[in-house]
Chains A and B, each alone.
Chain A
Amino acid sequence: MLLIQCPVCGVEAEETEFAPGGEAHILRPEPGCSDAEWSAYLFERKNPRAVHYERWRHAFGCGKWFHMARHTHTLEIFGVYAADAPEPPQEIRDRIAERTAP
């Protein structure tokens, strides 16, 4: 069971109040891309046993989307950040580097 904090309404709740939205930061290819690029955009997803950047939605709460950095093995959540962020903020990258350092 994950305890997730929504960055929009500030609520910390268990994961049943949220809905997972899959891998984050997937860029749509430009018009005129190859079939292989388009296929990769539609279907190919990472499935790491490591830190994973994900989209989540506060489905039963304020209804807003946001981003989350989570470790798929330890289930540690390194932080949540805004839905419109094009990439993870430096603060969360630093925390990940610190927490996953060997």
Chain B
Amino acid sequence: MSDLSLARAALDVSPPSGLGAQVEAMPLRGMVTIRGDLGDAGFAAALQAATGCAVPEVRGSTVSGDTRVLWMSADEVMIFCAWDAAPGVVATFMEKAGDAHVLALDVSDARAVFRVSGEKAWRVLAKGAPVDLERMEPGEVRRTRIATVAAGIVRTDGDAFEIFCFRSFSTYLWNWLCVGAGAESLSDL
């Protein structure tokens, strides 16, 4: 798998200076998408074995070390983990799941991750996402659109959001975030 992998982050960029919120393009991250019956005890056991995390609540996420399991849909979760851990997560999950009707796939190359942090971080995203970001709980996951592209937002802690989108949108979303985070864009009227 790794020899086929692009094995580089979607974007190797630094933000422009003078921003009102911190914007970062995150380095390579392991991502695994799993579909199955989230309410099934066997599913929960396999997920626990593969990630150390419990099945998240609706629109929630669970964390264990540097692994995070995100609720994506009624029958889908996404796992964020270390880049080189993803194949192992897939193998462990599929082994523990046995004959259950599930699917786990290493999709580490499919998406890009950004991080927006700072006191005004939510105001950057609020310019383009139809979400009440200020009221988002830490750990909450929200799949939505940002500007014109589909994206997921997770509030990792108080003032920090991680945004993930398809890799093909990464340049667009990066430029959009840098404009939105500009000091002028965030000045108080």
Contacts and interface: CB of A to CB of B under 8 A. Distances in A.
B72 interface: yes
Contacts of A13: 130-131, 144
Contacts, number: 34
Chain A interface size band reads 10 to 19
Given A13-B130, A13-B131, A62 B144 contact: no
B100 interface: no
Interface string B11-48: 00000000000000000000000000000000000000
Interface residues of B, number: 12
A8 B143 CA distance: 13
A72 interface: no
A62 B130 contact: no
Given A14-B130, A17-B130, A60-B150, A9 B144 contact: no
A11 interface: yes
B130 A9 contact: no
A62 B131 contact: no
A61 B72 CA distance: 8
Contacts of A14: 130
Main SS at interface, chain A: loop
Nearest to B131: A13
B59 interface: yes
A9 B58 contact: yes
Contact of A17 (B72, B73, B144): B144
Contacts of B73: 8-9, 62-64
A64 B35 CA distance: 14
A62 B143 contact: yes
B47 to A, nearest CB: 18
19 contacts: A8-B73, A9-B59, A13-B130, A13-B131, A16-B130, A16-B145, A17-B130, A17-B144, A17-B145, A60-B143, A60-B145, A60-B150, A61-B142, A61-B143, A61-B144, A62-B72, A62-B73, A62-B74, A64-B73
